[in-house]
A and B are shown apart, each in its own frame.
Chain A
Amino acid sequence: MQIAAKSASVATAVPVPESTAEIVPFRAPVRPAVERAMGIARHVLSVVLPPIIVLSITLLVWQLLCSEPGAHLPPPTKVVSDAWDFIADPFYDNGGIDKGAFWQISQSLGRVAIGFSLAAVAGIALGVLVGQSTWAMRGLDPIFQVLRTVPPLAWLPLSLAGFRHADPSALFVIFITSIWPIIINTSVGVRNIPQDYRNVAAVIRLSWWEVFYKITLPATVPYIFTGLRIGVGLSWLAIVAAEMLIGGVGIGFFIWDAWNSSRISDIIVALVYIGIVGFLLDKLIATVGHFVSHGVSAQ
C-alpha cells in the first residue's frame, strides 16, 4: 500500500473487506451459590490462616525452649495453668488491689480516657493556633520537636513534684505524652487547607468562628485523627509505665506487683492483655476517624 501510494502519488480507495465477524449472544456468567461460598471461605482462610500458623509455630518453639528443667521462663502450658485464676475470672474482687483483669484494665483505661481527652482538646486547639499563624509556628515548633522526644517516665518525677499526688501525676504523664503528635498533625493539617476553601469562606463572608467549625475542622479531620491515633498508642504506653511507679489498681502496677511476688505467668498474661487493648484502642480511633472523615479522605 505504502509503496504503491509513493510511486503513483495518487490515493487509491481500497474497498473495506466483507465483515467476517459473527454475532455471539452474550451470556452473563452464572456462579452457583456453592462456588460463591467456597470463594468467600477461601478468602477468609487466606486472611486468618497465616497468623494462626505463625502463632502456633511461635508457641511450639517457646514450649520446646522453656520445657527443660532449668528454664528461667515458664512455657505456654505452665503460663495457662499458673495464671488460670486470672484468665478464667476477670471479674473477681478480693478487696484492696487484688482484683480481676477486667477491673485492672478498666482502671487503666479510665485514666487513659481522661488524660487522652484532655490532650485531644488541648492538642487540637493548640494545633489550630499554631497552624494558622506563621509566627506561632516558627516560635513553637522547635520547642514541640524537642519536648516530644522526652520519654513518658522522665516527666513523672516532675509531675509528682508539682501535683504531690499519684493520680493527677499519672494523668499528666498521659497528657504530656500524647499531646505532641496531636498538636503537630493538626497544625500540618491546618497549613495544608487548600487556598480554594479559604477563598470560598471569604466570598460568602463566614465569620471567624464559622470558618473554624465549617471549614478548618472538617478539612483538618484526617490529619487530626492521624495525630489522635499516634497519641492514643503513646498514652497507653505511658499509663502502663506510670502505674508501675505510682501503684494502686491498674494493669501497670499489676505487672509490677506480680514481679515482686514472682508470678511470671501472670505477667505474661497481662502483657497479652495490654497488647490486645492497645491494638483495640488504635482500631477504635481509626474506625471513628474513618467515619468522621468520610468525605474528606475520599478526595
Chain B
Amino acid sequence: MTTQPYLKFEQIGMSFRRGQMATEVLRDVNLRIERGEFVSMIGHSGCGKSTLLNILGGLLKSTNGEVFLEGKVVDEPGPDRAIVFQNHSLLPWLTVYGNIAIAVDKVFGGSRGKGKTKAERHDWVMHNLELVQMAQAKDKRPHEVSGGMKQRVGIARALAMQPKVLLMDEPFGALDALTRAHLQDSVMEIHARLGNTVLMITHDVDEAVLLSDRVVMMTNGPAATIGEILPIKLARPRRRLELATDAEYARCRAAVLEFLYARHRVPARAA
C-alpha cells in the first residue's frame, strides 16, 4: 500500500430501490484526490454525478464501498465537506450576513476545538463576504440580490466552514453566461489564494477545462462509472482570453468533447 491519499472513493456502488425495482446508478467508482486539487466531474444528465457528490457530502449512503477523507470513513454530513448547491439554498428569512453567520456560529461557536469568540466570528463572516465581494450587500435578503450574487453568498457560506474539501454541485448551472464567467474567475482566484481541495460537478466543458487540475469523465448510466480522467496541464493563473488561442487548452477541450459526444453519446432519446 502506497501513501494514504487525502480523499479516496473506494469501489462506490449505489442502487436506488423502489418496491421490487432496483436501479443501479453507480458501479465500482474509484477515485483519489490529493490535497489542494481542483477536480471536475463531467458527464451527461443521469450519470450519477450528483449522487456521487451527495455520497461524499454524507447526504446519501452508498450501497457499496466507502469514501475516506484523511483516512476516516465518511458516513454523515458535516461542515468539513461543505456543499455549494446548484440553486444556492440560501434561507430566505435571513439576510446575506445571517446566512453565513448561521453556519459560522454553529461550526465555530461554543468552546470546542475550533471555538471563536463572538467578535472573531463576526470578523470571519465579514472576511468571507469580502472574499466573494458581497460585503456591501450584507444586510440584503436573498430575494433582493441577483442570481449570481446569491451563488456568491452560497460559496462564501461553504468557504466560511473551512471545509477539508469543498463540494460544488453545478454551482453556475443556473446563471447566464456572463455572470458565470465572472464567478468562475472569482472561484479560480479564491482557489489560488486559499488552496482548497475542490470537487465540482459541471455540464460545461469549458468550465471543467478552465478550472480543473483534472477532469473526471463519467460514462452513461445506469451503472455509470468513471470512464476516463484527463489531467489539465495548463499553468496557473489561467486567463480565459489567452486560453482561447492556447493549443493545450484546445486539445483538452477536444478530448472531453470527444469523450462526451463521440464515445459516450447519450442514446437517441436525448437528441
Contact = CB atoms under 8 A, between A and B. Distances in A.
A binds B: yes
Nearest to A293: B93
Interface stretch (A132-140, A204-212, A230-238): A204-212
Contacts of B93: 218-219, 221, 293-296
A296 B141 CA distance: 10
Interface in B59-98: 59, 76-79, 81-83, 85, 87, 89, 91-94
A288 to B, nearest CB: 15
Contact of A199 (B59, B76, B94, B102): B59
B161 interface: yes
A205 B141 contact: no
B138 to A, nearest CB: 15
A160 to B, nearest CB: 43
A202 B77 contact: yes
B238 interface: no
Main SS of chain A's interface residues?
helix
A295 B106 contact: no
Given A204-B107, A204-B161, A299-B143, A196 B89 contact: yes
Interface string A284-299: 0000000001111011
Contacts of A204: 79, 102-103, 106-107, 161
A205 B102 CA distance: 11
Chain B: number of interface residues, binned into ranges: 20 to 34
Q: Is the interface of B mostly helix, strand, loop or mixed?
A: loop
Contact of A202 (B59, B91, B102, B143): B59
B102 A203 contact: no
Interface residue tally on A, bucketed by range: 20 to 34
B57 interface: yes
B78 A205 contact: yes
A295 B59 contact: no
A203 B91 contact: no
B78 A298 contact: no
Contact of B92 (A205, A210, A298): A298
30 contacts: A196-B89, A199-B59, A199-B77, A199-B89, A200-B89, A200-B91, A202-B58, A202-B77, A203-B57, A203-B77, A203-B82, A203-B83, A204-B79, A204-B102, A205-B77, A205-B78, A205-B79, A210-B106, A219-B91, A219-B93, A294-B93, A295-B92, A295-B93, A295-B141, A295-B142, A295-B143, A298-B141, A298-B143, A299-B92, A299-B143
